[in-house]
Amino acid sequence: MTTASSSPLSTVWYTRCPVPTGLGIAIQKGWLQQKFEADQIEIKSLRESNSKDIRNSHFNHNLQNSVRHGGSIPAIWAYSSQKNTKVIGLSWADEAQLLLTRYDTGIKTVEDLQGKRFGLPHNQDALVDFSRAQAIRGLENSLKTVGLTVDAVELVDTQRQDIVRAKAQELLSDNSDSSFYGARNPLNASAELVALLTGQVDAIFLKGALAIQIAQDFALHTIIDIGAHPDPILRSNNGTPRTLTVDTEFLQQHPAQVKHIISSVLEAEQWSHQHPQETLQYLAQECHSADKWVPIAYGEDAHLKLNTNFDETSILALQDLSDFLYRWKFIPNPINVKDWLAPELYQSLATESAA
């Protein structure tokens, strides 16, 4: 790794998903900004950019000198698509991963899904349809618990016809991305839920605090919470683990600034371990959720689950998820996760902390 900058660094870009991450707390607390201000470097949010190309770097990681902490599926897709990125940390915060149905379907257990219609989001315009991928992943892992495969159910693509018609009538712009961080293009907003409630499908997959809220608001039956399974490989999905990634050139040319990022994340996580109630409030803000749903979705000990490292279980789970994505043709090329990892800066910080 190069230890000296080969070009001046004036701006660093950051982005994260609306999920529990140390980066999110470091940003909310202002700690990440402070480290870069000391170096007279501006730090900017992809989310707040007026450029769609810049915002799309959340998925394709095209933007140099940028960091992303969030769901692994877009990060895997970018790396598989030959984007030069490196994983500088992995975090694992178990979350609710629910297969849901209406009580009147008669579906009570995973075995009851045989022959039933399973609703999937279908976002044809997305760079990577991670909502669809995580739904199939949750379904496949749930079916594994009873010795079934996805062939046991009928997969049904879902779209909200009112939005399809509105787009056809040019009431919605093709460039509209107002739901960018809501994990959906407007064309597919809540499509699976609408399909379930109107009887077009028999079951769907939802995760996180939103899944808990929807299950209660619409009196839905939880068939299984695969996010609570004892086997971490069966729990692995878009959010388990989450990747902390930077572009390779940023890492090579500006290791001191990349180290700022990792240290900010670790400091935020260590702070969260000592401040459960404040962390709950920060996580609710990150997840766009009411406080009450966070401990249900992420556990009463959610503040203790913010840990970025290179745990072997996370590495194995990330490889298993990557293999799944290639098998289902969500990514163009298979990847070797260990070739993607860059643990050196994290390890140096861990050594300094232990000294």
Q: Which residue has the tokens 């809540």?
A: 190
The HSE-up count of residue 236 (CA atoms within 13 Å, CB side) is: 22
Q: How far is CA 8 from CA 36, 154, 250, 252, 254, in A?
A: 13, 55, 11, 13, 9
pLDDT of residue 149: 98
pLDDT of residue 57: 84
**What's phi and psi for 331, nearest 5 deg?**
-125, 150
Name the β-bridge partners of 243: 70, 90
d(CA 273, CA 305): 8
**Angle, nearest 10°, between helix axes 255-274 and 344-354?**
50
pLDDT of residue 162: 60
Segment holding 161, helix H or strand E: helix 161-168
Name the β-bridge partners of 237: 240
Peptide bond into 241 cis (omega under 30): yes
pLDDT of residue 160: 60
pLDDT of residue 7: 72
Q: Which residue has the tokens 């230890």?
A: 3
**Strands 220-225, 42-45: pairing kind:** unpaired
pLDDT of residue 224: 98
Claim: this prediction has a pTM higher than 0.85: yes
pLDDT of residue 52: 85
Classified as helix, coil or strand, 137 is helix
Classified as helix, coil or strand, 86 is strand
Quote the DSSP letter at residue 192: H
pLDDT of residue 192: 93
Taking only the tens place, the pLDDT of each residue in 156-214 is 999 766 655 665 565 544 444 433 433 444 434 488 999 999 999 999 999 999 899 99
The HSE-up count of residue 83 (CA atoms within 13 Å, CB side) is: 26
* pLDDT (tens place) for every residue of the chain, 355 residues total: 444 545 789 999 988 877 888 998 999 899 999 999 888 999 998 888 888 888 888 888 888 999 999 999 999 999 999 999 999 999 999 999 999 999 999 999 999 999 999 999 988 778 889 999 999 999 999 999 999 999 999 999 997 666 556 655 655 444 444 334 334 444 344 889 999 999 999 999 999 998 999 999 999 999 999 999 999 999 999 999 999 999 999 999 999 999 999 999 999 999 999 999 998 888 888 878 888 888 888 889 989 999 999 999 999 999 999 999 999 999 999 999 999 999 999 999 988 876 5
The HSE-up count of residue 81 (CA atoms within 13 Å, CB side) is: 16
Domains, the chain: 11-93+239-354 (3.40.190.10), 97-235 (3.40.190.10)
Instruction: For residue 346, give the amino acid letter.
Output: Y
